[in-house]
Structure 1
Amino acid sequence: MSNSPIYFTDNFFSVGLTTIYNENEEQIGSLDLKSILTSSVDILDKGGKLVIKGYFPFFSRRWRITDANDKEIGTLKQRFSFLSKKYEYETQGRAVYQVESEIFSKEYKIINEHGTLVADFKRISGFFASPAFRLTNQSDKLKNEELIAVVMGVSMITKRNNASSNSANSH
């Protein structure tokens, strides 16, 4: 657990490595952004070793998070809501977390089943040239790498929704 924020870029439109930084702008890991066609990301530790993977399985609307050995850690799905953005992150045998944001906000809260804030993240600009996130983990049960995969899942679900609504509007 670390209450210090970490920063990482969301750069799915150009594949490759992006850096995960701590608040002192020191590298603490990387994201390996895969092909835009597969919508997946690997989270690597400082030494470049795979820690967590996040991706959409074929024909699935759920974002799957696995460890380096492909063992499922959890799944993220969007929950229907008119006046807010809501997601549910269900971990394998541990807990179910709610990810919530106001409709036009760039700030999200991750809340456990007891209603306690365990992490928050915000889409920021200015820290990097590309869109970026600031994540603050207050949980002793969720590792930073797992939460980064959740944040990237929220981002990918949002991008999928925007792409499908744009294609529906263009016909």
Structure 2
Amino acid sequence: MANFLTEFSWIWLLGIAAILLLSIVMAVVASRQSKKLLAIINENAVASWQQQQQIEQLHQLLEQQVVQLKRSHQDVEELRSTVIGVGQRVLSLESHLGQGMQQVAELAEQQKSMHLFDPESKIYSRAMKMVHLGASLDEIMLECELPQAEAELLFNLHKQTK
């Protein structure tokens, strides 16, 4: 029986040693696995931190673009109101111009009709033609029956434009 006990003790000791050895191997494997897991966790943490930084930068950029968009919108509104004001002024000026052109046309028509029916204007036209043709002051006074002052005035005015 003593032999049995010793055999049993040896088996028992070998079993405990095998269990201890297996525990050590498992601890080493677990340690390696936990180191790998820690490395993966660290990589993921760094990547997550970098993504968070990028998200913050994008958020700041988005805020800047929103501010710039608001400014651009205000500028467009100011330009739109300015263009509307200018358009209204152009329409007003066109209206006034049309009225002015109509008045000029009416005055030209009146002048034309006065010129056709005014015998004095014919005399003055004839006198101007004579000045352009080189007639003397005396000739103009005789032909057109103009007083000396009027003949001199016409002579001097049209002689300069010649």
TM-score by length of 1: 0.18
Question: Which structure dedicates a bigger proportion of its chain to strand?
Answer: 1
- 1 or 2 for the larger relative contact order (CA 8 Å, sep ≥6)? 1
Task: Give the structure with higher Rg (CA).
Answer: 2
TM-score (norm 2): 0.19
